[in-house]
Amino acid sequence: MPTYKAPLRDMRFLMTEMFDYKTHYAGLSNGKDADPETVDAILAECAKLCENVLAPLNLPGDLEGCHWDNGEVRTPKGFKEAYEQYVAGGWQGLSHPQEYGGQGMPMSLGLIKSEMMGTANWSFTMYPGLSLGAMNTIMQHGTEQQLKTYMPPLVEGRWTGTMCLTEAHCGTDLGQMKSKAEPQADGSYKITGTKIFISAGEHDLAENIIHIVLARLPDAPAGTKGISLFIVPKFIVNADGSLGERNNIHCGSIEHKMGIKASATCVMNMDGATGYMIAKPNEGLNAMFTFMNSARIGTAVQGVAHAEASFQGALAYAKDRRSMRALRGKQEPDQVADAIIHHADVRRMLLTQKAIAEGGRAMLYFAAQYADHMVNGIVEKDQAKYEKWDDKLGFLTPILKGFLTEMGLEAANIGMQVFGGHGYIKEHGMEQIARDARISTLYEGTTGIQALDLLGRKVLLMTKGKAVREFSANLFAFGRANLANGELRPFAWKILKLATQWNYLTTRVMLVAAKDREMVSSASHHFLMYSGYVTMAYFWALMAARAQEKLAKGDGIETKEFYQAKIATAEFYFAHLLPRAQAHAESMLSPTKATLQLDKEHFAFN
């Protein structure tokens, strides 16, 4: 079973040396308490929880799974006790306002906490993780009474939250949703319908579960314009905050899944369940996107988490497992054979995992600062600030969710490959990481949905290419600033070429799509993956530049190997992974005829 060690050195490199979180936090209205000493203590304590409590439950939880009995769900052995420790440590409210019992820290610190927890045990992390989106939705769209009623116990962790969106017949197309909401004389609603794929919809960890539910009013317009959003608690909350009668929302079954088996994925049945509207009538889908965007960033974390977990397991095995001799000659002549880490192909696999995990982490920690500014806009009731940073984060969100989960899945599969046949055996834990990672490209919007959102909505429809132009300005700035630096010139020159090509491809797709609308769908996957490879290249170039600077100044010389490894991994990324971007560039401009000419009846001949 792979053991987890929180990569604190890399986290601190990004926070302290790359993105200057100290100055960033000092400029936030909710960042005054996030001084370096406090942040460092939080990271260290979170690492202990993850390494010593959560990680040891990962494999046993997968083997046992969840238990369903007559509507009740029991989590695997040890989960309840671990959740009690999590709540006692105040971890749930780390990044939520003090007025509701939270610690009031910036959102980015909560994301970093989630990365450590998710790497240690993704199934466990989903139980409190779904609550974060529920809290964000209530905090932004709820009434004062709803905030007073639901936020304190959610922030404390006594209650958890879910998102009840899709139904068996509609999948991502929520315009087909059929759940109904009947108005009642007291201002509440009776909700009837069945929701599927509800993570943490029922469990034994918390005393109440607050479901955020999409449903239609009787006079609602058809399609997505007729969807409203409701709070549906498992137990009705009395006026004094105590729990009342059991609401008529029940778990009909739990799914038998490929992975994340210790996370209960539920079918939730509502038969006249009491609900309370949140946001305005028929505007539930817009309000729900507060929840959905939180969940998508959280799923991007999953890509990095599984890449890191698989890398740690594969690296330890590669150092210990012996097979044959390296082609360049014996590396460990006193041993019967060389450790497989000396073989170039194994190093290729390990470096791919390392490049994905550390490159993805850099992308997330950068985007997390956007999220901090966005949340500050909400706290300060500054709509202009909120919209500015929401737009910036909105462009990166589908890249983070789509690209990083695809790459995380690749890294998880590579981990099994490093182990050879042993990677296919449960006791080593590597196949679990691959199974757990598989869902990440599917839920919260498949990679295809993220691609359409990026190209069709964020780039073409909403900004007409402006989003790419604005972000690629960062790449142009890096390239121009480092062309004269002999050591960084290869990175700088490549980044300049990519920035130019990214804008060119965007314009080409936009022009073709004006005549052939199917071009958007045909090109979107390739556009997203190309954008992901280019974005990660930019962050690897930034990390290489900072590492070069540290080595040149002699700073942190006691960890010079860390900086040398950064540069070597950046060089590997540019040489071995970045060339994939050109295949996507070529494919995205291919005529749609190659995709559409085969009639649906002629896909198979039986």
Instruction: Provide the annotated active-site residues.
Output: 444
Among 160, 177, 171, smallest CA distance to 73 is for: 160
The Cα 388–Cα 373 span in angstroms is 9
Q: Which helix (H) or strand (E) holds 10?
A: helix 8-12
- Which residue's entry shows tokens 């004006």? 514
The Cα 159–Cα 150 span in angstroms is 9
The Cα 116–Cα 7 span in angstroms is 8
- Which residue's entry shows tokens 């909401």? 181
Among 248, 300, 574, 312, smallest CA distance to 440 is for: 300
CB 364 within 8 A of CB 10: no
- Which residue's entry shows tokens 């009740």? 72
- Here the tokens at position 385 are 């600030």
Residue 330's SS3 state is coil
**Do the strands 159-164 and 180-183 form a parallel or antiparallel pair, or are they unpaired?**
unpaired
The Cα 139–Cα 141 span in angstroms is 6
Q: Which helix (H) or strand (E) holds 211?
A: strand 208-215
Residue 197's SS3 state is strand
- Other C-beta atoms closer than 10 Å to the C-beta of 431 total 21
Identify residue 52 by its one-letter amino acid code. N
Please calculate the CA angle 547-551-557 and round it to the nearest 5 degrees.
110
**Do the strands 228-233 and 72-74 form a parallel or antiparallel pair, or are they unpaired?**
unpaired
What is each CA distance from 63 to 57, 260, 306, in whole angstroms?
10, 10, 18
- If you count them, how many residues does the chain have? 606
Identify residue 373 by its one-letter amino acid code. H
Among 417, 422, 425, 428, smallest CA distance to 346 is for: 417
Residue 505's SS3 state is helix
What is each CA distance from 16 to 10, 23, 412, in whole angstroms?
10, 9, 28
The residues near 263 (Cβ < 8 Å, ≥ 6 apart) are 66, 122, 123, 124, 126, 127, 199, 200
Return the axis-axis angle of helices 518-553 and 580-588, rounded to nearest 10°: 160
Among 565, 548, 529, 342, smallest CA distance to 450 is for: 529
Identify residue 456 by its one-letter amino acid code. G
